[in-house]
Amino acid sequence: MDARFAVLASGTGTNLQALLDHPLIGPSIALVVSDKQGTGALGRARSRGVKSVVLEPGQYRAREDFDRALTTLLEDEAIEYVLLAGYMRILGGHTVRAFRDRILNVHPSLLPAFPGGHAVRDALSSGARTTGATVHIVDEEVDHGPVVLQEAVLVLPEDDEASLHRRIQEVEHRLFPRAALLLAEGRLKVEGRRVHVLGDDEGTSAERPG
Ligand code: GAR
């Protein structure tokens, strides 16, 4: 596939791994960016020979300077699509505008339920019986942009945060590469808050079984 992806990650990088392991997406990942040193995601990139860069917000005087540095890095690497795979920062407006409708985020809940950095914990403590995983297009608001793919995960009585998150991540690892492929194939048409999947007979934004 003739596309250039950057993956931004802050953590262990299991979603990055799922993207690297995908036969079409993996070879198209040109850059991994981490916002701190020593993350699992950096190790995964290095062991695949993918270029990785640490860009720490603390090195910049203002948030906006960091935002511009990130945008410049992505543009210098001729990146076309950006995937937020456990990137635990709010992407700045400069980057969002430069890559409008070309940035996807994976989030461990059925948005708009449980946005933010503690989605799994919040779902558990709310007593919800169902939560899930969402892949959405990134806009200027946090965990807000149009939904591309979503799938539900049942909350089991014996679940703790770790067990529920593990099952949600299994779903994320399937949904995220699929959404990235649809994006790079030009098959996502955004109309307001709805995303139509072109070439999908029913043009639905929901994930159908099978
Ligand atoms: C993922 O579950 C992702 O949905 C979540 O962080 C985890 C990263 O795991 N992201 C957010 O909560 C963003 N609000 P990973 O590093 O193993 O891919």
Instruction: Name the residue range of residue 117's domain.
Output: 5-207
Give mean pLDDT, residues 130-143.
96
User: Which tens digits make up the pLDDT trace of 60-119?
Assistant: 999 999 999 999 999 999 999 999 999 999 999 999 999 999 999 999 999 999 999 999
Give mean pLDDT, residues 175-188.
98
Residue 210: what pLDDT?
45
Amino acid identity, position 39 = T
Query: What are the structure tokens assigned to 36, written together?
Result: 């701190």
**DSSP class of 149:** E
Residue 208: what pLDDT?
53
Q: What pTM value is reported for the model?
A: 0.95
Active site residue 118: no
Which CATH number covers residue 148?
3.40.50.170
How far away, in angstroms, is 107 Cα from ligand 1 center?
6
Q: Omega before 112 cis (within 30°)?
A: yes
- How many independent structural domains does the chain possess? 1
Which of the four pLDDT bands, split at 50, 70 and 90, describes residue 137?
very high
How far away, in angstroms, is 58 Cα from ligand 1 center?
22
Query: Helices then strands (H, E): number in the chain?
Result: 6, 9
Residue of 209 and 178 predicted with greater confidence: 178
Which of 29, 107, 122, 150 maximizes ligand 1 atoms within 8 Å of its Cβ, making it the mutation to test the pocket?
A: 107
Point out the ligand 1 atom lying closest to the alpha carbon of residue 41.
16
